[in-house]
Amino acid sequence: MKKLVWVGSSYKDLKEFPPPVRQAVGYALFFAQNGKIHEHAKVLSGMGSAGIQEVRENDKSGTYRVIYTVETAEFVFVLHAFQKKSKSGIATPKQEMELLKSRLKEAKALYKSLIEGTK
């Protein structure tokens, strides 16, 4: 089973989701840790890699998204967790995409340090 690694404020942000959403997202992340893709997980377009997955969950209070990467054999990096507030369709807002790109770089650096620490 892959180890779950939280990047930036993703864990803190997820903890603020409604309990049913947290439970559903947690189950989807468990799937990812076991090398499987949950039925609510989709490839996030615009990131240039099929290894970036997005889980969308709806609740009466809104739509919630958790984005993670499964690009490594040892880890699942949770890059971002947020409530979608944009009214302009289903596209991920630009500021969220910019934050994701930054966190992906952070995850790659973290991965390198984790791998070097095991040698």
Instruction: Give CA–CA dist 57/20, Å, rounded.
Output: 9
Domains along the chain with CATH numbers: 3-117 (3.30.2310.20)
Which pLDDT score, from 0 to 100, does residue 36 have? Answer: 93
Tokens of 110: 């973290």
**97: pLDDT confidence band, cut at 50, 70 and 90?**
confident
Note the pTM of the prediction, 2 decimals: 0.86
Do the Cβ atoms of 9 and 19 come closer than 8 Å?
no
The per-residue DSSP string of 47-74 comes to: SS-TTEEEEEEEETTEEEEEEEE--SSS
**DSSP labels for 68-100?**
EE--SSSEEEEEEEEEE---S-SSPPHHHHHHH
Taking only the tens place, the pLDDT of each residue in 42-94 is 988 776 666 899 999 999 999 999 999 988 889 999 999 999 876 666 667 77
- Assess whether pLDDT exceeds 90 at residue 28: yes
State residue 115's pLDDT score.
81
Look at strands 52-59 and 41-43 and give their pairing: antiparallel
